[in-house]
């Protein structure tokens, strides 16, 4: 039986009777560090099955429709990659921030603003074709994301303002800016007052990779981000500085790292990634600007970053797994009338279970066996 | 018409009404933060309160059960947060975010069957006195009981923190859990209670939105109020009385939108809607610029986990 932990030394005599003991590890276990995400996913599936059961669905059938049916064919798999691309890209950017102890939770806003800037540029060229258009549009998106991310970064470094609250408030602001633009000045003059812009010209759209599928060249942006981030994290001085600052800001200060510069840099990187994800959305599957550029990819990517353990390779796997919750929610809604918000519930649960299973990182459970 | 004194009274009353959920949620979060716990799940707890209250009202028909149920809903979901951060020693920021995502998802799932159902009328107090005094009566009379409770709460909270022994314990735990623990205070228990209390207040704030302020269920109806409530706690420099002032300012911004539109000011509606968020950022910058003052008033162990080695 698990008993109350005894007070220090006072109840030493009782120790012998304990069957299970919880002991603090001297060092976090590395094997468990990469195993707990898997554990978290299994626990989420279990809890999800339970929720389906409570809602009156057959748990196994519901889980099948949620996690297997959507990716069973080639089209489904390409849709999975389509959803995983922005998640992976944003999460890679966020891992720069989270590694160095900067809580940028406004990636959704940076994505939206990146989409606005790149969409604006794409609209300038709406009746032109040319190879030079797409690079300019992509660059504009990255710059837009960076500009937007620089606001919380500068306010944090020079005005001591909490970056969590600022970056989050900016999400609401960016969505309202987008709304204003697509309803007002940028709305399609021939669009019968629908809240959307003109279609971009074909030169401003990311090429489709396979005929008949929606998967587009944006996936290469995500893969490039993975490679670059891996290099920066593990092969450069900057990566080392970020790691040290993440462990202890005091140590970083003592070592003489330029803290302010680094804060701004990591915010710019993560803003650029989110902005690129925004470009991928509007120049890929959408092809124009409208009200809903992203189904909360920016928030979900926070979960992806944690589930992937802020490691580039881990993030690839995590983005694929979390992307299923988007597809699964749609499939389950169509085939079983399961509300689509179940996706969000699953995402919240994954993060809960992941954080909870981190307990095993720092503590181990010892089976001592009953003496006597 | 604008100079009509009763009209001004009505505007002030409507500003106060829109600041109620902010006051409730920030006062709850303030106690939680004073005990050293940063719970970013305010938005999630509020939306759970909103749907629990509305669902219970529709199903049972009893407003009393609905309000209590909304508070219990907030307590229930904050228990997850408390267990994770206090017993399993997880990171406060990440756990709070998970709570918000989870709360929004669950509330939408439950709320699916309650969309479009009209709410009930919530009884108001002192209705007969409504026309007695010019200017003052619309402000003072004819509001729900939650309204009066919200405006008393900052003063109670202030009294609790500054004048009672329990309040001292909460502050001690927030400023130095190690010393508090050495004094024989059960840090975990204090923090658990403060988190659950915060959950109850956020639940009540949500219930006010879905049952009294706009009596219906709309998906995602808290619309960022939880995050503004969090910002208000920083704005107040952890002083409950200042929450009252801050909440009135933000309530005012919400009300101004409607009146400017009514008067016909030519500003895009999106800009007016964005105003509370932009003002929040500006106010945060002004308050936080004085880093010394922030450092002095922030609970020293805010957001840091406390683990007692046995």
* A103 contacts B98? CB cut-off 8 A: no
User: A364 pLDDT band (50/70/90 cuts)?
Assistant: confident
User: A19 pLDDT band (50/70/90 cuts)?
Assistant: low
User: B10 pLDDT band (50/70/90 cuts)?
Assistant: confident
Q: Does A361 have pLDDT greater than 50?
A: yes
pLDDT one-digit tens code per residue, A83-123? 999 999 999 999 999 998 899 999 999 999 999 999 999 99
Report d(CA A55, CA A67) in Å as an integer: 18
- Rounded mean pLDDT, A197-220: 85
Q: How many residues does chain A have?
A: 372
- Rounded mean pLDDT, A38-49: 92
SS3 label, residue A264: helix
* Nearest chain B Cα distance for residue A330, angstroms: 14
Report d(CA B284, CA B223) in Å as an integer: 19
* A355 contacts B98? CB cut-off 8 A: yes
In total, the C-beta contacts within 8 angstroms joining chain A to chain B are 132
CA dihedral A229, A230, A234, A236 (to 10 degrees): -40
pLDDT one-digit tens code per residue, A221-279? 999 999 999 999 999 998 898 888 877 778 888 888 877 888 999 999 999 999 999 99
Closest residue in chain A to residue B44, using alpha carbons only: A348
Q: Give me the residue from A176, A179, A355 closest to B90, CB to CB.
A: A355
- Rounded mean pLDDT, B73-92: 94
* A356 contacts B90? CB cut-off 8 A: yes
Q: Does A33 have pLDDT greater than 90?
A: no
CATH code, residues A58-337? 1.10.3470
- Tell me which residues of chain B have a C-beta less than 8 Å from any C-beta of chain A: 40, 80, 84, 88-91, 93-95, 97-99, 101-106, 108-109, 112, 224, 227, 230-231, 234, 268, 270-271, 273-274, 277-278, 280-281, 284-285, 288-289, 291, 294, 309-310
Buried b / exposed e over B105-126, threshold 16 CB at 10 Å, is bbbbbbbeebeeeebbebeeee
* Nearest chain B Cα distance for residue A109, angstroms: 13
**Higher pLDDT pick, A87 / A216:** A87
| ipTM summary value | 0.89
Global confidence as pTM:
0.89
What's the distance, Cα to Cα, between the start and end of chain B in Å? 70
pLDDT one-digit tens code per residue, B248-292? 998 888 888 777 777 777 788 888 889 889 999 999 999 888 888
Report d(CA A253, CA A251) in Å as an integer: 5
Q: How many residues does chain B have?
A: 310
Average pLDDT, chain A: 87
Domains defined along chain B, listed by start: 5-297 (1.10.3470)
Residue A249: exposed, middle, or buried by beta-carbon count in 10 A (0-12, 13-18, 19+)? middle
Per-residue pLDDT, A9: 46
- In chain A, domain spans: 58-337
Tell me how far apart the 2 most distant CA atoms of chain B are, in Å.
70
* A344 contacts B102? CB cut-off 8 A: yes
Residue A250: exposed, middle, or buried by beta-carbon count in 10 A (0-12, 13-18, 19+)? exposed
Q: Which of A39, A43, A356 to mutate to test the interface with B (most CBs of B within 10 A)?
A: A356
Per-residue pLDDT, B290: 83
Q: Does B130 have pLDDT greater than 90?
A: no
User: A292 pLDDT band (50/70/90 cuts)?
Assistant: confident
* Nearest chain A Cα distance for residue B212, angstroms: 25
Closest residue in chain B to residue A52, using alpha carbons only: B109
């Amino acid at each position: 039986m698990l008993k109350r932990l005894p007070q220090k030394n006072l109840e030493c005599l009782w120790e012998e009777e304990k069957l299970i003991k919880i002991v603090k590890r001297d060092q976090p276990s590395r094997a468990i560090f990469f195993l707990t995400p898997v554990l978290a996913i299994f626990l989420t599936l279990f809890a999800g099955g339970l929720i389906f059961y409570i809602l009156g669905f057959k748990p196994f059938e519901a889980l099948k429709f949620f996690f297997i049916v959507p990716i069973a064919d080639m089209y489904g798999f390409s849709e999975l990659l389509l959803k995983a691309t922005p998640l992976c890209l944003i999460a890679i950017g966020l891992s720069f921030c989270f590694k160095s102890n900067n809580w940028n939770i406004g990636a959704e806003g940076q994505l939206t603003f990146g989409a606005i800037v790149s969409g604006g540029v794409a609209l300038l060229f709406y009746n032109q074709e040319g190879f030079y258009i797409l690079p300019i549009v992509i660059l504009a998106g990255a710059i837009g994301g960076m500009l937007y991310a620089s606001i919380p970064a500068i306010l944090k470094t020079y005005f001591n303002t909490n970056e969590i609250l600022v970056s989050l408030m900016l999400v609401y602001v960016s969505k309202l800016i987008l709304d204003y633009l697509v309803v007002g000045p940028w709305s399609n003059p021939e669009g019968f007052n629908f809240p959307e812009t003109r279609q971009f010209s074909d030169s401003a759209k990311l090429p489709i990779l396979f005929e008949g599928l929606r998967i587009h060249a944006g996936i290469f942006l995500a893969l490039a981000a993975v490679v670059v981030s891996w290099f920066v994290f593990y092969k450069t001085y900057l990566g080392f500085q970020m790691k040290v600052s993440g462990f202890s800001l005091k140590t970083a200060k003592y070592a003489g790292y330029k803290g302010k510069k680094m804060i701004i840099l990591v915010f710019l990187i993560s803003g650029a990634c989110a902005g690129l994800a925004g470009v991928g959305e509007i120049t890929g599957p959408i092809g124009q600007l409208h009200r809903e550029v992203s189904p909360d990819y920016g928030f979900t990517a926070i979960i992806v970053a944690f589930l992937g353990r802020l490691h580039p390779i881990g993030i690839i796997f995590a983005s694929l797994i979390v992307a299923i919750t988007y597809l699964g929610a749609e499939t389950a809604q169509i085939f079983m009338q399961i509300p689509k918000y179940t996706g969000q519930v699953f995402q919240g649960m994954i993060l809960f279970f992941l954080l909870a299973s981190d307990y095993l990182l720092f503590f181990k459970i010892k089976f001592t066996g009953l003496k006597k | 018409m604008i100079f009509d004194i009763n009209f001004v009274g009505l505007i002030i009353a409507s500003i106060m009404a829109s600041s109620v959920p902010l006051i409730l949620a920030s006062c709850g979060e303030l106690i939680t933060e004073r005990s050293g716990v940063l719970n970013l799940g305010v938005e999630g707890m509020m939306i759970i309160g909103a749907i629990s209250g509305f669902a219970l009202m529709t199903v049972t028909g009893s407003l009393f059960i609905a309000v209590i149920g909304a508070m219990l809903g907030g307590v229930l979901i904050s228990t997850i947060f408390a267990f994770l951060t206090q017993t399993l020693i997880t990171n406060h920021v990440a756990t709070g975010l998970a709570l918000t995502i989870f709360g929004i998802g669950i509330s939408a799932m439950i709320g699916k069957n309650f969309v479009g159902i009209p709410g009930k009328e919530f009884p108001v107090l002192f209705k007969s006195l409504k026309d007695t005094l010019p200017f003052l009566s619309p402000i003072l009379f004819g509001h729900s009981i939650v309204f009066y409770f919200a405006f008393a709460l900052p003063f109670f909270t202030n009294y609790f923190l500054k004048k009672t022994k329990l309040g001292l314990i909460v502050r001690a735990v927030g400023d130095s859990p190690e010393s508090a623990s050495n004094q024989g205070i059960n840090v975990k228990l204090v923090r658990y209670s403060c988190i659950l209390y915060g959950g109850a207040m956020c639940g009540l704030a949500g219930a006010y939105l879905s049952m009294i302020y706009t009596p219906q269920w709309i998906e995602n109806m808290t619309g960022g109020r939880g995050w503004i409530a969090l910002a208000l706690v920083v704005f107040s420099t952890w002083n409950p009385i200042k929450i009252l002032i801050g909440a009135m300012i933000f309530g005012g911004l919400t009300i101004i939108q409607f009146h400017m539109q009514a008067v016909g000011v030519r500003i895009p509606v999106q800009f007016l809607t964005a105003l509370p968020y932009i003002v929040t950022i500006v106010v945060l910058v002004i308050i936080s610029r004085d880093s010394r003052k922030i450092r002095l008033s922030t609970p020293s162990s805010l957001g840091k986990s406390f683990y007692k080695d046995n």
